[in-house]
């Protein structure tokens, strides 16, 4: 998966990844297909967004909260309950959007800085001949 065992253990410590099935001290960890899928998702988010582990944890916690809300949604036909569930889900999505937009703004700023550097270098190149 492109990560070290230490990284996986650290993700477990942070609560980002389940600790696998119960095991004796010193025994090998065993992971389910769901654990592997979760690790792939974590790595993808980390690499795509370049977020801190704390931000990654917030993104994952919001996803987990929305999954619970989906279960509650399917378990009720009560319109008022569903309205409340939707409001709660929106809060979680807004929090995720805030994190993503923060990273997006940082990337836009970096791009602008690099474009300016490129322009200065090309201008110097033109002066040099």
Quote the Cα angle for 8-9-11, to 5°.
65
What's this model's pTM, rounded to 2 decimal places?
0.69
Mean pLDDT of 30-44: 87
Identify the CATH assignment for 1-49 out of 1.10.1660.10, 3.20.20.70, 1.10.340.70, 1.10.260.40: 1.10.1660.10
The domain locations on the chain are 1-49, 50-129
Give 16's contacts (C-beta < 8 A, 6+ positions apart): 42, 53, 56, 57, 60
- Residue 49, CA distances (Å) to 65, 71, 91, 106 in order: 20, 28, 20, 11
Can you tell me the mean pLDDT for 95-117?
93
What pLDDT score does 101 carry? 93
Give the pLDDT of residue 19: 60
Average pLDDT rounded to a whole number, residues 5-29: 75
Confidence category of residue 27, pLDDT binned at 50, 70, 90: low
Mean pLDDT for 33-60 is 87
The stretch 21-27 carries a mean pLDDT of 60
């Amino acid at each position: 998966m492109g990560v070290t065992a230490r990284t996986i253990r650290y993700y477990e410590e942070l609560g980002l990844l389940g600790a696998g099935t119960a095991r004796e001290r010193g025994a090998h960890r065993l992971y389910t297909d769901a654990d592997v899928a979760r690790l792939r998702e974590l790595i993808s988010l980390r690499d795509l967004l370049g977020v801190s582990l704390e931000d990654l944890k917030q993104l994952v916690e919001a996803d987990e909260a929305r999954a619970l809300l989906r279960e509650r949604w399917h378990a009720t036909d009560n319109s008022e309950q569903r309205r409340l569930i939707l409001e709660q889900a929106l809060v979680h999505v807004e929090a995720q959007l805030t994190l993503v937009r923060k990273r997006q703004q940082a990337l836009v700023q970096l791009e602008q800085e690099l474009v300016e550097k490129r322009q200065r270098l090309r201008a110097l190149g033109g002066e040099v001949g």
